[in-house]
Amino acid sequence: MPPVNDQFERTIVAPAICAGVGVHTGRRVRLAIRPAAPGSGITFVRTDVRDHDNRIPVSGEAVVDARLNTMIENAAGVRLSTIEHLMAAFAALGVSNAVVEVDGPELPILDGSALPFVQLLDRAGFRGQDAFQRVIEILEPIRVEEGDKSAALLPCDRYEMRFEIDFPTPVIGNQVVDFVVDERTFRHEIMAARTFGFAHEVEALRQAGLARGGSLENAVVIDGDVILNPGGLRMEREFVRHKALDAIGDLYVLGAPLLGRYEGVKAGHALNNQLVRALLANPQAWRIVTRAPELALAC
C-alpha cells in the first residue's frame, strides 16, 4: 500500500517556508514549498538562476551526483543538491505533487534529519487531489553491488525496508532496521534520525568542497569512540535509521511510492541511484499500478 491511507494524490494546502544553511556549501538559503497540480510530481526551482531554465523536475535520470548527498540537474545544467531528506518527508507523508523553490545550490540541512521538513509540511496542511495515487509495483528482483555493499528491490505486497550497516567503531558497530514504510512508522521511528560523520574526515571533505556547513547542530559527529554532540543520540540505532531515511528519499525520485521490499547493506546515495537506474532499465521488473476504490489498473 502507499505510505498514507489515501488512494488519491496529495499536495499541500498553503506555502511552507523556511531558511537554513546548506551542509556542504555552507551558504544560507531560503526554501518555499508550494502546492502543485495533480500529476505534476515534485519539481525544484532555483530562484537564484535567471539566465537558464531554472526548473528541475525530479526523476531517476535527473540524479547526477551522489557523493554524500543526492544532486539533481536539468537539461540546462542547473543543479541542486541534498534533496534526500525533503524527498523522504514527501514520500512518507504521501505528497505526490509540489513545487520547491530554493534560492541557492543546496537545500538547507536544518537539524540533519527529516523532522523539520515534516513539521513544515504539517503546518502547511495536506489536500487530496482529483487523481488516483500511482504505485510502482516490483515484479522481479533487481540488485546492484559494489564490493561488500549492496541494494536490492524485491517483490512484496507492501512497502518494506531492511537496512544494515557495519562500522568498526563500537559507537556504531553492526546495526539493522527492518520495517514497513508508512507514515506512522516514519514519524515514530525514522524521521528524527540525523545524518552523521567522523571528525577525522571533516578537513578532507571541506578541501573537496563538502561539509562546509556541517556542525554539531546538524549532524552526529564521531571522534574515535566518542560522540561529540552534547546530547548524545536521539534514539537507539540512530545511525542505521538515518541511512534508511536517506534510502526512502533516494527511491522517491522514481516519482511514486513502492509496492516492494528494499534491502540495503552498507548502501549509500550512489548505490541507491544505481538501483533506481537498474530498475528503470528493466521495464519487465516493474509496473505502474493505479490504486482506485475497488479497482487496480495496471498502466
Grid coordinates of 138: 516490483
- The CA-CA-CA angle for residues 40, 296, 34, to 5°, reads 20
User: What is the C-alpha separation between 168 and 262, in angstroms, rounded?
Assistant: 24
Burial profile 20-33: b = 16 or more Cβ within 10 angstroms, e = fewer = bbbbbbbeebebbb
Dihedral sign (CA 98, 240, 185, 156):
positive
Grid coordinates of 279: 530498475
Residue 227 near residue 167 (C-beta atoms within 8 A): no
Considering 24, 85, 242, 269, which one is annotated as catalytic? 269
Please indicate whether residue 269 is annotated as part of the active site.
yes
User: What is the C-alpha separation between 144 and 172, in angstroms, rounded?
Assistant: 25
Dihedral sign (CA 23, 177, 269, 172):
positive
Query: Cα dihedral angle (179, 180, 181, 182), rounded to 10 degrees?
Result: -130
Residues 6+ away with beta carbon under 8 Å from 39: 9, 97, 131
Catalytic residue ranges = 269
